[in-house]
Structure 1
Amino acid sequence: MNPLLKSILSTGFGFAILRVMTPILLPAMGVAISELAGSVNIALEGIMIMAAFFGVIVSAFTGSIWLALLAGIAAGVTSGAILAYFHLKLKADIILAAIALNMFASGFTIFMLYIFTGDKGSTSSLKSLVFPEIQIPILKSIPVLGPIFSGHNIMTYIALLAVPFFYFLVFRTPLGLRIRAVGQNPHAAESVGINVNRVKFYALMLSGLFGALGGLYLSMGYVSWFSRDMTAGRGFIAIAAATLGGNMPMGMLWASLLFGFVNSIAIYIASLDIPSELIQMIPYLITVIALAIFSIKVQMKKKHVEGARELYSEEVISGVVKDISSDGD
């Protein structure tokens, strides 16, 4: 069997898919909850960078994994709140504000990295902590399934548990109902007493929370250090995952697994005699292709619905005309 094919069919490859999927699934949920509220957050790239940086710095200087977790979450939620303030209070366009936040996060973390370490590249000179790996007692002994699903970083399991949590939050809580109501029709929501700006503010802060968890995993789970712009576009791939998943929890999980699979393929073929630039391009190329296919399907569905609606309208009008004619006779 071809060595590459043998590697892809191994349990290690399945393990890698879940590992690579984690920093895509978490921010994808952040994108989804903001989009459901009608204010899509495309600043997850910057939010992840901020959380990843502060998590590593706080863990290195305090030696506490809990303080590092709180610092990363605080950085992400604060970033989301800042975006919400500029958009909702100062009436800035949310897309432009998010782009500015992404650019600020990149420059700010490099500047602070130099202040703390004297290096503009990474925190390799600091001894930072990592989140623990979890061995699931019974599952780890099961052939095939054990090596794939057991032994992951705890943040991977948090990402998987976040899927049902997202469903419960959005579809089974008063806040989730308000988020969906505001996103679907803000004027109708306001007419029944819902504070639209407040709900959007909460949604963007929750978006920052999900993005922060993804960033913390990158610097304290995926690797054990922070490097400049280490998100490498994952925040934008998360937008694609949320779009492909229809902003629904299971849809985002499958979309994230798809991107995890593609990224894992790129990692595994890096050993082949292929230009590294081409390998690095693969995940983004697949993202563009997947979004193009999704867009075509959406457009076809819209045309079908509009056609059915027009046909239905014509039938109704025709029926009304016949009724009027029969009444006249």
Structure 2
Amino acid sequence: MTQLDLASLITFIPAILRVTTPILLAGLGVLISSRAGVLNIGVEGMMLSGAFAGVVVSAATGSATLGFLAALVVGGALGAALSFAVHVLKSDLILSGIALNMAAAAGTTLLLFMLTGDKGMSGSLSSQVLPSLTIPVLAGIPVLGTLLSGHHILTYAAFLAVPGVGLFLMRTPMGLRLRAVGENPESAEIAGINVRRVQVGALVASGVFAGAAGAFLSMGYVSWFSQNMSAGRGFIALAAEVMGHGSATGTMFASLLLGIAEAASIALQGVGLPSELMQTVPYLVPVIALVVHARRRQRLLARA
């Protein structure tokens, strides 16, 4: 490997981890709700609202920690609101999630204009930035230390959450009840499990993960909020969960694949190809992957 190739690799891998982080966080949230039988279509709106809340609270208090906590609270609250619409008002889950996404896009734009007089970047609402983390053990290793140390603290949290979520779903009594509700809610009800309570908790937890993903976008990528800055990453997270076959590890690898696509589209914008074409890559890859996934599933069902 030449020095140029090594330098490109050292630059590209951290970029992959950076763009993968919000997709993975939101994808794990979608996984939790999906296994409970309540697919969180509103994850895009929860991310966007979390990003907005993080910047506003951080700017008002001067504390990145309080901004991050506000993003988690707002995400969880929207998860509870979606659950209220579905379980109490008896509205359709998919339509309610779509409505939440639309309301979040319009609401954050309106609030941003009210606070700053500008619906673009909120320059007057500059937030504190959540810190990066240097791991001494890794930092001293040539090349590997550069690749794996010094990333944003939420990047490490996202990847550490993968085994945590996997163990929760597969090895804990609460995770067992959650999966039982998702697979057969009628049987779970007969077994004495409170289906509504489990699904409410799953949607709230999903919203908290989405809020964390939004906080990373506005307090990790940059230190401000802009209109619709989630840019469809919530929908990409939905694709990551489907591509991951309902497992935390699978969701992680699918998120990495989609992160590679997004990082590559950014890197290739300077090679002479139309930037508009390159910007479609992160959205074309999940579509292609989902088509392949659907065809493979059809073959398996046909054999069965």
1:251 counterpart residue number: 250
Aligned to 2:77: 78
Q: Which residue of 1 aligns with 2:260?
A: 261
**What residue identity is the alignment partner of 1:157?**
Y
Task: Indicate the larger mover: 248-257 or 139-148.
Answer: 139-148
Q: How do 1:2-41 residues align onto structure 2 when only pairs under 5 Å count?
A: 6=5, 9-41=8-40
Alignment of 1:25-174 (within 5 A): 25-174=24-173
TM-score by length of 2: 0.97
* SS of equivalent to 1:128: coil
What is the CA distance between 1:74 and its match in structure 2? 0.7
Q: CA deviation at 1:168?
A: 2.1
Amino acid paired to 2:235: F
Normalising by structure 1, we get a TM-score of: 0.89
Distance 1:16 1:257 in 2: 11
Q: State the AA in 2 paired with 1:294.
A: H
Distance in 2 (CA, whole Å) between partners of 1:150 and 1:238 is 25
**Partner Cα distance (2:240, 2:301) in 1:** 21
> Is this contact kept in 2: 1:48–1:235, CA < 8 A?
yes
CA distance in 1, matches of 2:245, 2:254: 10
What amino acid sits opposite 1:42 in the alignment? Answer: I
CA distance in 2, matches of 1:245, 1:8: 31
> How far did 1:216 drift?
0.5
Consecutive unaligned residues of structure 1, counting only runs of 5 or more, are: 306-329
* Partners of 1:124 and 1:8 in 2: CA distance: 33
State the distance in 2 between where 1:287 and 1:245 align: 12
CA RMSD of aligned residues (A): 1.6
SS at match of 2:130: coil
Query: 1:217 aligns to what?
Result: 216
> 2:100 is matched by which residue type in structure 1?
L
Structure 1 runs of 4+ off > 3 angstroms? Answer: 5-9
Say whether residues 1:195 and 2:174 are aligned partners.
no
Any conservation in 2 of the 1:29–1:247 contact (CA below 8 Å)? no
Q: Note the C-alpha offset of 1:127.
A: 2.5
- Establish whether residue 177 from structure 1 lines up as the match of residue 176 from structure 2: yes
Aligned to 1:316: none
Give a deviation string over 1:61-104, Cα, whole Å, max 9, x none: 11112211221111000000000000111111000000000000
Q: Could you report, residue by residue, the CA deviation over 1:142-197 in whole angstroms, capped at 9, with x for unpaired residues?
A: 12211111110101011011101101221222221111000011110000111111
Offset, 1:8: 8.4
Letter in 2 for 1:158: A
Residue aligning to 1:235? 234
1:303 corresponds to which residue?
A: 302
- State which structure, 1 or 2, has the greater radius of gyration over its C-alpha atoms: 1
Question: CA-to-partner distance for each residue in 1:197-241, whole Å, 9 max, x for gaps?
Answer: 111111000110111110000000011111110011100000110
Alpha-carbon distance between aligned partners in 1 of 2:2 and 2:161, rounded to the nearest angstrom? 37
Give the SS at the match of 2:226. Answer: coil
One-letter amino acid of the counterpart of residue 131, structure 1: L
Any idea what the Cα deviations from partners look like across 1:270-318, whole Å, max 9, x if unmatched?
112211110111111111111111111111111112xxxxxxxxxxxxx
Contact 2:65 2:130 in 1 (8 A): no
Q: How many residues align?
A: 304
